[in-house]
Structure 1
Amino acid sequence: MTVVGSPRPNLTLLVLHESDNVAIARRMITPGTALGPCLFAKDPIPSGHKVSIKPIMCGEPVLRYGQIIGFATRDVEPGLHVHLQNMALGEFEKDYAFGADVRQTEYVDTPATFMGIRRREGWGAGTRNYVGILSTVNCSSHVAGVVAEVFKKNPFTGIDPLAEFPNVDGVVALTHKTGCGMTGGEPLNVLRRTLGGYARHVNFSHVIVLGLGCEVNQIGGLLEDQRLAGRVRSMDIQSTGGARKTVEAAVEFVRDVLEEANQVSRQPIPASELIVGLQCGGSDGLSGVTANPALGSASDILVRHRGTVILSETPETYGAEHLLTRRAISREVGEKLIALMDWWDAYFKREGAVMNDNRSPGNMAGGISTIVEKSLGAMAKGGTTNLVDVVKYGETVKGPGLVFMDTPGYDPVSATGQVAGGANLICFTTGRGSVFGCKPAPSIKLASNTAMYQRMKDDMDINCGEILSGGESVEECGKRIFDLILRVASGERTKSEEFDFGAAEFAPWVLGATV
């Protein structure tokens, strides 16, 4: 990373690669501001946005990170704001070079440990201890929610139904808006795979599945398809005698298992049993400079400790996938990623959309001009280690190492898939200030800039903005994130947990027609 301007702490610009023809504003820049020798700002440049530092002719590529992020749609003089008004995405050749950058991972001799929960069965270790209530269909969602509400602490009286069970983190209902009025095949398979992953999740001590009785996603089919017989309790409203009787029966089930759920004790467990889902949302132009690279550094540390990290959000990898294929441990793994890109391209065309439309207003306001620019910054979360596998949405993840899971870019849907795949902790970077939880997995929030962190301290766990001010390096911030991952995995509550986020964000990927 190169800095343009004076060597004082309030430096104006960041140049991320020597070949770049744009730089990133570290703060709001007013017209006339000196940016370097014979270089002055000709436009207002918001913090995190791009400014041209070299002439860029119409049709020439705009370079950031040393990579193409788009093409100039008009001639751009040095000192001009570079954004939607003068650049756009275009076609360019990518060299997939499968496996060209694969390097041997230098594992540590003695992995770090966290204080986790060892379950009697299943691979992995829990970082939380919930009782879960899953719904097969929207029609049983209200009943599931009523059951969970019985066990919530009353904010007015202070009465806590779980006070006698200090080792139980809560009773959580995870409900959704599908399960019927849907087609079979892939849409139903994805829903069942997601629910099955949650039903088996190591952060649940016990799970009850509630259905209506006449839905497409029948309980019997779910249990058989996902091999859940004997692992979960289930009941449907119609057979049980209605909503009230189902609530009473489900509440009785939860009360019966609370004492057993409370019998867990935390014990030292190697960090190799951590599976961390990597998310970014509400990004800005600084996310790819501070929070994402810092999380990438933490990811590299975890992988060296034989842990696993999950990179996702396939549409937000578009245009940068060739950098991942170079790190694929085999051509087969790399080609699985390219096949996903082809599927998404066809999916967007079928819906009358284009990949470059996958940017939120907040992303654009934060300085991200094209999906490729976002993808390059988002990829940094995955660090620098080898890509060991590519899996379907909600499919069980097996490490160690960096795994790519196919998910949409929409954060709740993406994180839901990661948790279904086994993530027992989520790390979520944001530049605009996304608020997010992901029960039963704790969610660590990483702020890309100090201003937003200060404004939203109640929601953010770590400020990565110190990287920008020179207060710490990317590596130092990454080590701080890794240390927090171990503490949170050991039971330390995150800001989102303190505000009880995490149930409403459960959002299985809905595919196919609603009929």
Structure 2
Amino acid sequence: MQHKVLKINASDNVIVALRSLEAGEKITFEGETYTLPRAIAAKHKFVTEDLNPGDSVTMYGVLVGKATQPIARGEQITTFNLKHESDEYSVSKRQDRTHWQAPDVSAWKDRTFMGFPRSDGQAGTANYWLVIPLVFCENRNILKLKDAFDKALGYAFPDVYLRQVGDLVQLYSSGQTEALKSYKGVTEAAAVANHQPLFKNLDGIKFLTHESGCGESNQESALLAALFGAYANNANVAGVTVLSLGCQKTQFSDLTAEIKKRNPAFDKPVLFFEQQSYGTEMDMMSAAIRETFLGLIEADTLVRQPQPLSKLNIGLKCGGSDGFSGLSANPVLGHLSDLVVALGGTTYLAEFPELCGVEQELIDRCMSVEKAQKFEMLMRDYSSKAEAVGAGFDMNPSAGNIKDGLITDAIKSAGAAKKGGLAPIVDVLNYTEVAREPGLQLVCTPGNDVLATTGQAAAGATIILFTTGLGTPTGNPICPVVKVSTNTSLANRMPDIIDFDCGAIIEGEKTIEETAEELLDYCIKLAGGELKTKAQLLGQDDFMPWRRGVSL
């Protein structure tokens, strides 16, 4: 049975509306009765006491804002009466909270997934060949290769929108004006890809483009090489084809150095083609096509084999968040993360701007003072650079976030951090650094959906769980992205992008723990190739390097 309201932490002085509440409605909760002066939409919050300007608002047990004007008991918090505020943090205040009660995983210890074994001991959940440009000058050639390989090898998606435009052209040309006005498009069934690929053990060829590699700072060009070096090392990648112009800042030697830095025993094929050395585009492209095709034949010899759950690498991400994110889907990811860590696997919590206000808790959970210091340094450096260009963390909530109850960045962050569960933090990774040991990792990325998922795949994630309350189609070229809905209304409204629904928690029909176990079972099937995510079925291959410097 669904309750009307919820207080998340006993120390909170706000209550969350689980359904829309009417003006004048009397809400009785924990022995107290609140009369609401105005209607409050589901996902929004009202205060439990009269507040004066400067008084603190607490949610999830942490400071999330301060009143900017008087707020009466039962009144909703809004951007007009509350401003972002968060607690100070420091390693000097660190209290060791690395001891935790791991969840019971006895039911999972003998489970396996059918993954692709790699020579370095990793296991992929997919088997992709990667085609990348070292500089934006090669983007056209990358797209030409994509068109040729996808169509010839059976990886191309049906172009339903081209078909729709063609239908409209035909109706217009034949004078069927009324039919033109009522045309609804192709059927949903026609929009589903029906792949019959040539290579049965190769999940696809992924072609990446970007706007970097030259005409920028040395730092940006080096960062691109580091990002591609990390992607080459991802367990879901079987081999790489590299296109280069020749004169750009990011050189092939930079890429190979970054690959070896992350994995000295790296032995995947990396095929290199430099346009200025070949002379004509045709000569380079023909060589790239021939050598890549031979590489694909070899990659197709890899077959899935049973892998222990300790080889799961799962990214934890949220985007298009709403007021239910911190109540349902994010805590589900948190419990799933704890299960995976207890099984010896690896999870990745990213989005540093969305850890604002919970830094001290994360500092306390770091396994060593050195890791805590690195986290504090990265957070302060990121925050100061954002403030230097007039974009502090307090600006993080989007219009959609605010409309659906995430009024301040601290409220958003406190809910977002729930994705990290309770496990101790074994390492803190800067952007493009890869995980060296199993356990929960903090990964420095922006909150931006594509920048964050790009960074998590670079860190080593082979599945990304992505919670959303508003809906987003975000995917990744090499890492399946699972869209986890915070509410059933969204899952029903956007079924073409939502993979898993946590709305039953809000309805009071399921617990966080049992929902997390259901999601873990989904992940095992996905990792074994039994399922495809909606983003994969839509061909949603979003990739965006994080450009941290200035353009030259």
TM range (shorter): over 0.9
The one-letter code of the counterpart of 2:54 is: G
> Map of 1:153-302 to 2, 5 A cutoff?
153=154, 155=158, 163-184=197-218, 186-227=219-260, 231-302=269-340
Give the equivalent residue in structure 1 for 2:393: 355
Q: In structure 2, how many angstroms separate the alpha carbons of the residues matched to 1:166 and 1:195?
A: 26
> Map of 1:302-317 to 2, 5 A cutoff?
302-317=340-355
The one-letter code of the counterpart of 1:177 is: E
Give the equivalent residue in structure 2 for 1:69: 64
- TM-score (norm. length: structure 1): 0.93
Per-residue displacement from partner, 1:20-75 (whole Å, max 9, x unpaired)? 11111112222122222542222221221111222222211111112110011111
The structure-2 alpha-carbon separation of the partners of 1:268 and 1:508, relative to structure 1 and needing over 3 Å to count, comes to same
The structure-2 alpha-carbon separation of the partners of 1:104 and 1:377, relative to structure 1 and needing over 3 Å to count, comes to closer
The one-letter code of the counterpart of 1:101 is: R
- Structure 1, 298-307 or 37-46: larger mean CA deviation: 37-46
Is 1:500 aligned to residue 539 of structure 2? yes
Q: In structure 1, how many angstroms separate the alpha carbons of the residues matched to 2:95 and 2:438?
A: 18
Q: In structure 2, how many angstroms separate the alpha carbons of the residues matched to 1:214 and 1:303?
A: 45
Per-residue displacement from partner, 1:235-263 (whole Å, max 9, x unpaired)? 12222233333332222222212222211
Per-residue displacement from partner, 1:345-381 (whole Å, max 9, x unpaired)? 2201321222201221111112111111111111110
Q: How far apart are residue 111 of structure 1 and its match?
A: 5.2
- Structure 1, 35-44 or 148-157: larger mean CA deviation: 148-157
Q: How far apart are residue 162 of structure 1 and its match?
A: 6.3
| Of 32, 45, 50, the match for 1:50 | 45
The structure-2 alpha-carbon separation of the partners of 1:501 and 1:471, relative to structure 1 and needing over 3 Å to count, comes to same
For the 8 Å contact 2:429–2:444, the answer to whether it is kept is yes
Q: In structure 2, how many angstroms separate the alpha carbons of the residues matched to 1:317 and 1:380?
A: 10
Is 1:329 aligned to residue 329 of structure 2? no
Is 1:418 aligned to residue 418 of structure 2? no
Per-residue displacement from partner, 1:197-225 (whole Å, max 9, x unpaired)? 11222212221011111111122332234
Give the equivalent residue in structure 2 for 1:31: 23
Q: Name the structure where helix makes up a greater proportion of residues.
A: 2
For the 8 Å contact 1:52–1:80, the answer to whether it is kept is yes
Give the equivalent residue in structure 2 for 1:118: 117
Give the equivalent residue in structure 1 for 2:8: 16
Is 1:103 aligned to residue 112 of structure 2? no
Q: In structure 2, how many angstroms separate the alpha carbons of the residues matched to 1:230 and 1:66?
A: 48
**SS of alignment partner, residue 283 of structure 1:** coil
Q: In structure 2, how many angstroms separate the alpha carbons of the residues matched to 1:114 and 1:229?
A: 24
**SS of alignment partner, residue 71 of structure 2:** coil
Q: Which protein has the larger Cα radius of gyration, Structure 1 or Structure 2? A: 2
Q: In structure 2, how many angstroms separate the alpha carbons of the residues matched to 1:13 and 1:103?
A: 33
The structure-2 alpha-carbon separation of the partners of 1:99 and 1:302, relative to structure 1 and needing over 3 Å to count, comes to farther
Q: In structure 2, how many angstroms separate the alpha carbons of the residues matched to 1:99 and 1:388?
A: 16
The structure-2 alpha-carbon separation of the partners of 1:229 and 1:497, relative to structure 1 and needing over 3 Å to count, comes to closer
For the 8 Å contact 2:244–2:273, the answer to whether it is kept is yes
Q: In structure 1, how many angstroms separate the alpha carbons of the residues matched to 2:257 and 2:33?
A: 71
The one-letter code of the counterpart of 2:540 is: F
Kindly tell me the number of residue pairs found equivalent between the two proteins.
503
The structure-2 alpha-carbon separation of the partners of 1:201 and 1:347, relative to structure 1 and needing over 3 Å to count, comes to same
**SS of alignment partner, residue 343 of structure 1:** helix
Q: In structure 1, how many angstroms separate the alpha carbons of the residues matched to 2:550 and 2:133?
A: 20
Per-residue displacement from partner, 1:63-116 (whole Å, max 9, x unpaired)? 111211001111111221112111002364447543521115648573531110
For the 8 Å contact 1:146–1:247, the answer to whether it is kept is no
**SS of alignment partner, residue 508 of structure 1:** coil
**SS of alignment partner, residue 285 of structure 1:** coil
For the 8 Å contact 2:63–2:86, the answer to whether it is kept is no
Is 1:447 aligned to residue 447 of structure 2? no
**Any stretches of 5+ residues in structure 1 without a counterpart?**
1-8
**SS of alignment partner, residue 144 of structure 2:** helix
Per-residue displacement from partner, 1:281-317 (whole Å, max 9, x unpaired)? 1101110110000010100100111001011111111
For the 8 Å contact 2:47–2:74, the answer to whether it is kept is yes
Q: In structure 1, how many angstroms separate the alpha carbons of the residues matched to 2:291 and 2:313?
A: 30
**SS of alignment partner, residue 226 of structure 1:** helix
**Any stretches of 5+ residues in structure 2 without a counterpart?**
164-189, 261-265
| Of 386, 389, 394, the match for 2:432 | 394
For the 8 Å contact 2:271–2:292, the answer to whether it is kept is no
For the 8 Å contact 1:98–1:328, the answer to whether it is kept is no
The structure-2 alpha-carbon separation of the partners of 1:93 and 1:216, relative to structure 1 and needing over 3 Å to count, comes to closer
The one-letter code of the counterpart of 1:17 is: N
Q: How far apart are residue 229 of structure 1 and its match?
A: 8.9
Q: How far apart are residue 459 of structure 1 and its match?
A: 0.7
The structure-2 alpha-carbon separation of the partners of 1:475 and 1:108, relative to structure 1 and needing over 3 Å to count, comes to closer
- Structure 1, 149-158 or 425-434: larger mean CA deviation: 149-158
Give the equivalent residue in structure 2 for 1:84: 79
For the 8 Å contact 2:336–2:517, the answer to whether it is kept is yes
For the 8 Å contact 1:132–1:173, the answer to whether it is kept is yes
**SS of alignment partner, residue 398 of structure 1:** coil
Q: How far apart are residue 15 of structure 1 and its match?
A: 0.9
For the 8 Å contact 2:105–2:339, the answer to whether it is kept is no
Q: In structure 2, how many angstroms separate the alpha carbons of the residues matched to 1:372 and 1:176?
A: 32
Give the equivalent residue in structure 2 for 1:5: none
The one-letter code of the counterpart of 1:497 is: Q
Q: In structure 1, how many angstroms separate the alpha carbons of the residues matched to 2:201 and 2:483?
A: 24
**SS of alignment partner, residue 383 of structure 2:** helix
Give the equivalent residue in structure 2 for 1:438: 476
Q: How far apart are residue 402 of structure 1 and its match?
A: 0.6
> Map of 1:371-390 to 2, 5 A cutoff?
371-390=409-428
Q: In structure 2, how many angstroms separate the alpha carbons of the residues matched to 1:161 and 1:238?
A: 36
**SS of alignment partner, residue 141 of structure 1:** helix
Q: How far apart are residue 161 of structure 1 and its match?
A: 9.2
The structure-2 alpha-carbon separation of the partners of 1:129 and 1:388, relative to structure 1 and needing over 3 Å to count, comes to same
**SS of alignment partner, residue 458 of structure 1:** coil
Give the equivalent residue in structure 1 for 2:181: none
Q: In structure 1, how many angstroms separate the alpha carbons of the residues matched to 2:142 and 2:514?
A: 44
- Structure 1, 203-212 or 376-385: larger mean CA deviation: 203-212
For the 8 Å contact 1:144–1:247, the answer to whether it is kept is no
The one-letter code of the counterpart of 1:44 is: A
**SS of alignment partner, residue 44 of structure 1:** coil
Q: In structure 1, how many angstroms separate the alpha carbons of the residues matched to 2:455 and 2:111?
A: 27
Is 1:513 aligned to residue 550 of structure 2? yes
For the 8 Å contact 1:98–1:330, the answer to whether it is kept is no
